[in-house]
Amino acid sequence: MSGLLQFSQVWVEYGDKVVLEKVDLSVQQGAFVSVVGPSGAGKSTFLRLVLGQEAPTRGAITLDGKPLRAEPGPDRGVVFQRYSVFPHLNALDNVVFGLDCAGSPFSGRLSGARRAAACDVAAAMLARVGLAHALDVYPAQLSGGMQQRLAIAQALIMKPRILLLDEPFGALDPGVRLDMHGLITDLWLEHGLTILMVTHDIKEAFKLGTRVLAFDKRRHDPQAPNRYGSTVVYDFPLDEKTRAAIPAALTAMAEPQSEAI
Amino acid sequence: MRRLLNIRPPWGVRLLLGALPLAAVVLVYLGAASVQHSLNPNEKFLPTFSAMVDQARIMALQVDPQTGAIPLWQDTAASLIRLGAGLAIATVTALVLGLVIGVLPLMRATIGPLVAAVAVVPPIAILPILFITFGLGETAKIALIVLGVTPFMVRDLAGHVLAIPEEQIVKAQTLGGSTWQIALRVALPQAMPRLLESLRLSLGPAWVFLISSEAIASDVGLGYRVFLVRRYLAMDIILPYVAWIALLAVIFDLVLISLNRRLYPWAHTARTR
Ligand SMILES: Nc1ncnc2c1ncn2[C@@H]1O[C@H](COP(=O)(O)OP(=O)(O)OP(=O)(O)O)[C@@H](O)[C@H]1O
Ligand SMILES: [Mg+2]
């Protein structure tokens, strides 16, 4: 099996603390993978590996068949729960940033006609995420939901091979979160994106994902809690029908259970 | 009953409240001065306002025949050039070193300890070394200001740059930013408002270093004049000079505050009490 993103026998250890062990995984292009698991299970660590912010202690990761560069790059976009946008740039400049970097190695800022063209592209992207009216607004003046819209637009401008989301909607109100679900699903379809999303909300995981991965420890040593790491304990591929049925089923079941993971 | 910490005076009341202690200090001084003068007309320690105004007039308006210049302006110009040169060098150094230390772990490891070591040396203690090395001219005085305030500014700025959330730096890399581009477009602009603030906070120490070096070896300057007339117990000159220095300090402070707000509005959107 060969996917866009491939993990083989990946381990992450900090000293004698094992965080991830023996992770084997293949993610197909176009997948929307939800990642769930208890706090501390290593979900963010997993994303950091894909991002290249961290290298595995053992094992190999490939993207498009090539070993993953252990450094963040424009082929992998990211939206964090917070601090994903630049506070000193207005919305438009935040989105143009990627184009500036690509087109102007020395000054880091395009000028003249090229800048104007880049601004048009960025403005269209901002309009697409619903921020057409806020081009010259600084992030601090945007609501939490609007900041996440901005962060998504900023990431998508680079046309990343894979988009990584670490609890992107975790800090948002339920209503706003619902709007964001619609937006991210539409963008995923329009741009043919491959998405890895970490979430604590299992309903969200089933509603958005085409596949749900659950990270947890297989084994437990009560005397040495750090001895064993987490790995993928459940891997649910979802077709259209199950995707439609599961959130309803989860709602029908007890609410508190759905928050348990 | 509302909590005391929730009672916020309106604008006008705040102004009035701020003026009261100042007025009280002036009144107490005037009272003490007039009592002293009624006891002893030659009293020198507490000059009356009219005596101070007379002296201030002489210092600010009359040409000193020995130097051919008006003392107050000559002193002010000399001091401000030293202060300006020292602070300019310190600010530029702090910007470059602070960015480099804050952005590059390699440089942090290399020059961080050096800056920390220089920072613990009391600057006044090396003033003799400066006079020996640079002579008694302008260089030593400017160098004292530079050595005195730069380490603080460098560390403050480096700390601020280091505190830029990791998420932002990672995001910038996923947007294709190189080390140079990230330093220039992410770290530098976010460092600027902090640099101005740290410059503002360094003004106080800079004045101390300036006046110290002028008091020890100089023939012109605000600090020189104050220490010169001290020999004649000329409080009627010292006090107006001190007031003038205070006024200059307040003006610089306000200018830097308003410049910061105007240049970097995004950095000042948080609500303050
Ligand atoms: N640099 C590090 N040094 C030591 N331990 C670390 C380090 N980074 C992460 N860990 C540990 O790795 C484990 C997994 O952390 P991670 O942030 O990936 O969990 P998570 O699943 O994202 O949790 P949450 O749901 O709370 O975000 C935690 O126990 C954490 O303490
Ligand atoms: Mg996490």
Pocket perturbation via mutation, ligand 1, pick of A11, A13, A16, A17 by most ligand atoms within 8 A of CB: A17
C-alpha of residue A136 to centroid of ligand 1, in Å: 37
Residue-number span of the structural domain to which A206 is assigned: 5-25+32-51+60-86+144-217
Environment class of residue B118 by beta-carbon count within 10 Å: exposed (0-12), middle (13-18) or buried (19+)?
middle
The per-residue b/e assignment along B187-225, b for 16 or more CB within 10 angstroms, e otherwise, is: bbbbbbbbbbbbbbbbbeebbbbbbbbbbbebebbbbbb
Could B176 and A102 be called an inter-chain contact, meaning their C-beta atoms sit closer than 8 Å? yes
- Residue A202 belongs to a domain with what CATH number? 3.40.50.300
Q: For all residues of chain B together, what is the average pLDDT?
A: 92
Closest-CA residue of chain A to B269? A140
Question: What is residue B42's predicted lDDT score, i.e. its pLDDT?
Answer: 81
Is residue A162 in a domain?
Answer: yes
Instruction: Report residues of chain A scoring pLDDT below 70.
Output: 1-2, 240-261
Question: What is residue A187's predicted lDDT score, i.e. its pLDDT?
Answer: 92
pLDDT by residue (tens digit) across A189-225? 999 999 999 999 999 999 999 999 999 988 888 887 7
Q: What is the ipTM of this complex?
A: 0.89
The number of domains in chain A is 1
Is residue B147 in a domain?
Answer: yes
Is residue B52 in a domain?
Answer: no
Each of the 273 residues of chain B gets a pLDDT tens digit; together they read: 889 999 899 999 999 999 999 999 999 999 999 898 888 888 888 888 888 999 899 998 899 888 889 999 999 999 999 999 999 999 999 999 999 999 999 999 999 999 999 989 998 898 899 999 998 889 999 999 999 999 999 999 999 999 999 999 999 999 999 999 999 999 999 999 999 999 999 999 999 999 999 998 889 999 999 999 888 888 989 999 999 999 999 999 999 999 999 999 999 876 555
**In chain B, what residues touch A159 (CB-CB under 8 Å)?**
none
The number of domains in chain B is 1
Ligand 1 atom index nearest CA of A215: 21
Residue-number span of the structural domain to which B224 is assigned: 71-265
Is residue A238 in a domain?
Answer: no
Distance of CA A39 to the CA centre of its chain: 17
- Residue B200 belongs to a domain with what CATH number? 1.10.3720.10
The rounded distance, in Å, linking the Cα atoms of A88 and A185 is 29
Question: What is residue B261's predicted lDDT score, i.e. its pLDDT?
Answer: 94
C-alpha of residue B121 to centroid of ligand 2, in Å: 43
Question: What is residue B243's predicted lDDT score, i.e. its pLDDT?
Answer: 93
Is residue B242 in a domain?
Answer: yes
Question: Which of A53, A88, A101 shows the shortest C-beta gap to B181?
Answer: A101
Residues of A with CB under 8 A from a CB of B: 51, 53, 71-74, 76-78, 80, 82-89, 97-98, 100-102, 105-109, 138, 140-141, 151, 154-155, 157-158, 160
The per-residue b/e assignment along B148-176, b for 16 or more CB within 10 angstroms, e otherwise, is: bbbbbbbbbbbebbeebeebbbbbbbbbb
Query: Measuring from atom 16 of ligand 1, which residue has the nearest CA?
Result: A42
Closest-CA residue of chain B to A104? B181
Could A77 and B172 be called an inter-chain contact, meaning their C-beta atoms sit closer than 8 Å? no
Q: What is the DSSP string of B118-184?
A: HHHS-GGGGHHHHHHHH-SSHHHHHHHHHHHHHHHHHHHHHHHHHTS-HHHHHHHHHTT--HHHHII
Question: What is residue A46's predicted lDDT score, i.e. its pLDDT?
Answer: 93
C-alpha of residue A139 to centroid of ligand 1, in Å: 28
Is residue B241 in a domain?
Answer: yes
Is residue A45 in a domain?
Answer: yes
Could A107 and B184 be called an inter-chain contact, meaning their C-beta atoms sit closer than 8 Å? yes
Environment class of residue A227 by beta-carbon count within 10 Å: exposed (0-12), middle (13-18) or buried (19+)?
middle
C-alpha of residue A218 to centroid of ligand 1, in Å: 17
The rounded distance, in Å, linking the Cα atoms of A4 and B75 is 73
Is residue A171 in a domain?
Answer: yes
pLDDT by residue (tens digit) across A115-132? 999 999 999 999 999 999
